[in-house]
Amino acid sequence: MSTAPAATVGGDPASQVRVPEDCLRQVLELINRRFGFQFRDSFRDLARGRLVRRLVELGLDDLQDYYYRLLYDGEGDSELEALFDVLANNETYFFREESQIWAVAEEILAERRAARPGGRVRVWSAGCSTGEEPYSIAMAVLERHGTAAREVEIFGSDQSRKALERARQGAYGGFSFRNTPPAIRDRYFRPHADGRFQIVPDVRRMVQFGRCNLLGPAGDLPLVKFDAILCRNVLIYFDRDSRRQVVDLFYDRLAEGGYLLLGHSESLLDLSDRFEFANLSQDVAYRREES
């Protein structure tokens, strides 16, 4: 679907976009059918706002028209993917909720190494968006373990091709560093002429990225068990059934004794009773029991 800025000639283009409730639901149902995600009811207002922005970008002023284009346009499929990116956009930055990042690099890494001497420690950042989270883990591991960090494999996954492309490029604007100590930024990034910062090869090669729909086929997800899975501020968008399904996937993909770290405002309450609660020194996590 070709994009063109709004042809709106006066006033606020967003306020001129018609979003009938039934069409909003139809569009969200299309997303559900294609990606398996069922957005929770409380997400609807946020979705409405993001949809309006998308329509303005495309120069459309009626959600009904957009819905038909998603259904019938030759490029409707790729637009549906772009829309999913817009709706499920997870704004992130380096060292977000950093106590969890350091917990992975310090406590969890040490414990998993002790549990399997000589084995590689594998971390999955699920829903990693543009890559700030897995790179933060890589930097934290390098900070704490230096060259021994090579024994750690980090896999970052996301549904969005566009986000993964940006993650692989590893170039970030200043806003991504709003919680990063300047010394760390200077150590692991090189400034670009355009004002962005490029991640250094040592960190880049610690992280593999792949596409994975948490509710669909495994996609690029490696056929291994992980020692830690981070999935932060992703499940908040989905309804309970979708969340349960994702948590079941995490359970299956965790090694025994492996850790699941959710966002600070998230929990497994009503989702699963198969994990035990694990107190870390500065945070809490869930843990798959050892048999």
Partner 1 sequence: MESAGRTPLLDGRESVGELMALLGHASLRVRRGAVAALAAKDPAETLPGLLQALAGEGNAAARGSAGDVLLRYGKAIVGPLTRALDPDQHRDRTIQLLVVLGRIPGRETVEAVLPLAAHGDASVAAAAIGCLGALKDPACVPILLAVLDSGERWQTFYAIDALGEVGHAAAVKRLVPLIRDSYYRKAVLRALGKIGDESAVPPLVEALVSGDPRPDRTALAALNAMVDGSRTGAGREGLIARMREELARQAGEGLADDLATLVEGGEREVRRQAARVLGWLGGARAIPPLMAALAEPGLVETAGSALQDLGRHFSAEILAEALALPLSADGLRRVIEAVGSNPTPGSEEFLVSALAHEEDEVRQAAAAALADRADRQHMEVLVAALGDDSPLVSAEGIRGLLRIAAASPSARDEVAGRVEGLTAAASAEMRAAALRVIARLDSEGAQETLDLALHDPVATVRRTAVALLGEDGNPERLWRLTVALADEDARVREEAVMAVGRLRDERARGVLLASLHDRSIWVRCRAARALAEHPAVEVQAALEEAASREVPPVRVGAIEALGQLWPASREFLCGLAADDDPEVRRACLRALGAGREQVPLDMLAAALEDPVWSVRCAAAEGLGASGHGGAFGPLSRALDRERDAVVRSALLTALYQVDPESSLSFLVSALAEKDVAETAAGLLVDGHRIFADDLRAEWAAGIDPATREGLAVVLEEIGRRESARGPEGGGGSP
Q: Does 7 bind partner 1 (CB under 8 A)?
A: yes
Which segment (71-79, 120-128, 181-189, 209-217) binds partner 1 by CB under 8 A? Answer: 71-79
Tell me the three state secondary structure of residue 238: strand
Work out which of 36, 73, 213, 244 binds partner 1, going by CB under 8 A: 73
What CA–CA distances, in Å, run from 25 to 30, 50, 56, 88, 143? 9, 14, 19, 16, 47
Q: Does 77 bind partner 1 (CB under 8 A)?
A: no
Q: Which is nearer to partner 1, 27 or 109 (CB)?
A: 27
Q: What share of the chain is helix, strand, coil (3-state, %, to 5)?
A: 45, 20, 35
Kindly write out the interface string for residues 35-64 of this chain, putting x where it contacts partner 1 by CB under 8 A and - elsewhere.
Answer: ------------------x--xx-x-----
Question: What dihedral do alpha carbons 267, 268, 271, 277 form, nearest 10°?
Answer: -170
Return all residues near 238 (Cβ < 8 A) that are at least 6 apart.
Answer: 37, 38, 39, 40, 246
Q: Does 171 bind partner 1 (CB under 8 A)?
A: no
Q: Does 71 bind partner 1 (CB under 8 A)?
A: yes
* Number of residues lying near partner 1 (CB under 8 A): 37
| 230-259 binders of partner 1 (CB under 8 A) | 233
Q: Does 270 bind partner 1 (CB under 8 A)?
A: no
How many other CB atoms are there within 10 angstroms of residue 15's CB atom? 9
Assess whether 158 carries a catalytic annotation.
Answer: yes
Work out which of 77, 91, 165, 248 binds partner 1, going by CB under 8 A: 91
Q: Using alpha carbons, select from 170, 90, 86, 168 the residue that is nearest to residue 127.
A: 90
Catalytic site residue from 48, 50, 144, 187: 50
Catalytic site residue from 61, 112, 158, 287: 158
What CA–CA distances, in Å, run from 248 to 123, 143, 186, 221, 251? 17, 33, 39, 15, 5
| 181-220 binders of partner 1 (CB under 8 A) | none
Work out which of 33, 120, 161, 178 binds partner 1, going by CB under 8 A: 178
Shortest CB 9 distance to partner 1, Å: 5
Q: Using alpha carbons, select from 171, 112, 104 the residue that is nearest to residue 139.
A: 104
Residue 200 DSSP class = P
Instruction: For residue 177, give both structure tokens.
Output: 């560093």
Residues at the interface with partner 1 (CB under 8 A): 2, 4-14, 21-22, 25-26, 53, 56-57, 59, 68-69, 71-73, 91, 93, 173-175, 178-179, 233, 263-265, 274
